[in-house]
Amino acid sequence: MRIQPSDQLVLDHVAARETAIVGRAVDWAAINSGSRNAEGLGRMLDRLEAEAARLPATVERIATRTSTSVDDDGAVRTEAHADALKVTARPAAPIQIVLTGHYDTVFPRESGFQTVSTRPDGALNGPGIADMKGGISVMLAALEAFEAHPGRERVGWTVLLSPDEEIGSPASAPLLAELGARGHIGMTYEPALADGTLAGARKGSGNYHLIVNGKAAHAGRAFHEGANAVAGAAILAARLHALNGQRDGVTVNVAKISGGGPLNVVADNAVVRFNVRVPDQGASDWIETAVREIAADPPFPGLTLHLHGGMTRAPKPMDASQTALFEAVRDAGALLGQTIAWKPSGGVCEGNNLHAAGLPNIDTLGVLGGDIHSDQEFAWPASFVERAQLSALILCKIASGEIDALKLKSLRLETM
């Protein structure tokens, strides 16, 4: 594999756009698009739609499904979500690439972290600058440049930008599954680590909400007539925590207990919220069974339990297709003077969804950065062009056949 003159034209196109690639990500990061900030998500979607319209592709908004959420008092409500943005070019081409990203962030409307600044060391510090508005800018830059490649007609591509990745993709999961089943290679734009290391194998993840209903009573006059839901929730939380260490690689994080009310009232409601992480499908089945057994066993009389949620992302192991794809990306990176390495991650993302649908994918093709999900989130500005060139070259090598997308897909299907 080597860089051809036609590849170099694509790479030069990316380099010439550096100011715009970085600048639009900085502008986007100033738009608060927390996962439940409908107004901010709408503004961000407008900006992305206008930017995508510059590409020679069909741009459309796709409705996402509703989901259910559990309030702190145990009430279950239906929640609507913003549209996804779908951008499609050459859907009839023999090779189909699926590129995904999310335009929501973890920072709510009321967050004090709203703008981008430059640190003394030159890094950009801002909400979503790495995760993943910078990544979306890199993705679009790579596609724009690839459209100048003479082999582009052999490769079709579809972009899906979702509004709900940071809350587990409850609304966009069916869209990801549909695209994953149809595509040959997936490219997702979560940030790489600050040194460029990619996420290889990923654990699976599940989010659960265990509603505990008890019976209210006066804490002094009629204490024994009540059934304390908060006390029951505490016992259940301890049972869930005790699952840690029982199976290798499985973790259960009890994140929050809510409920109750005045100090002189026996609490009649509580909610235990927890997350699980699993290394493989066997572990996923095991924890599902264990959780449901706990949720079916009230710790004392007078309580009723209702479990909501479940596994939201399947494990993503380094199977034969993943290994071959990572090695191809490593070779492409070497042509650019970039050292590409990878290591396992306990984190999850849309790459898990795509892999579960049968799509080999690299899911950390975004900018180099770190401290995501905090007000210290940062990205290195030089990495915007570097990562856009890496993605553009991957696309060029898929078009030339030097990265064999059909074979990679076949390898993935063999393991399903």
The CATH number of residue 305's host domain is 3.30.70.360
Specify the pLDDT at position 171: 96
The CATH number of residue 166's host domain is 3.40.630.10
Average pLDDT score over residue span 104-128: 97
Same domain, 169 and 90: yes
> For residue 102, is pLDDT > 90?
yes
Question: Mind listing the pLDDT tens digit for each residue in 182-192?
Answer: 999 999 999 99
The domain boundary, picked from 258, 286, 313, lies at 313
| pLDDT range class, residue 127, cuts 50, 70, 90 | very high
The domain boundary, picked from 313, 328, 344, lies at 313
Q: Which domain holds residue 327?
A: 5-200+317-414
Specify the pLDDT at position 166: 96
Pairing label, strands 95-102, 58-62: unpaired
Residue 59 β-bridge partners = 87
Structural domain tally of the chain?
2
Specify the pLDDT at position 189: 98
Same domain, 58 and 158: yes
Average pLDDT score over residue span 88-96: 98
Same domain, 40 and 130: yes
Task: Report how far residue 333's alpha carbon sits from residue 100's, in angstroms, rounded to the nearest whole number.
Answer: 20
Residue 100's nearest CA partner among 165, 25, 51 is 165
Strand 361-362: give its sheet, edge to edge. 58-62, 84-89, 155-162, 95-102, 185-188, 361-362
Question: Mind listing the pLDDT tens digit for each residue in 56-67?
Answer: 999 999 999 999
Question: Mind listing the pLDDT tens digit for each residue in 297-335?
Answer: 999 999 999 999 999 999 999 999 999 999 999 999 999
Same domain, 79 and 173: yes
Task: Report how far residue 391's alpha carbon sits from residue 188's, in angstroms, rounded to the nearest whole number.
Answer: 10
Specify the pLDDT at position 161: 98
Reply yes or no: is the peptide bond before residue 318 cis, omega within 30 of 0.
no
Residue 134's nearest CA partner among 46, 14, 25, 24 is 25
Average pLDDT score over residue span 94-116: 97
Same domain, 232 and 282: yes
> For residue 115, is pLDDT > 90?
yes
Q: What percent of the chain has pLDDT over 90?
A: 98
Same domain, 398 and 254: no
Same domain, 69 and 124: yes
Question: Mind listing the pLDDT tens digit for each residue in 214-240?
Answer: 999 999 999 999 999 999 999 999 999
The domain boundary, picked from 313, 346, 361, lies at 313
> For residue 407, is pLDDT > 90?
yes
Same domain, 242 and 215: yes
Mean per-residue pLDDT of the chain: 97
Question: Mind listing the pLDDT tens digit for each residue in 9-21?
Answer: 999 999 999 999 9
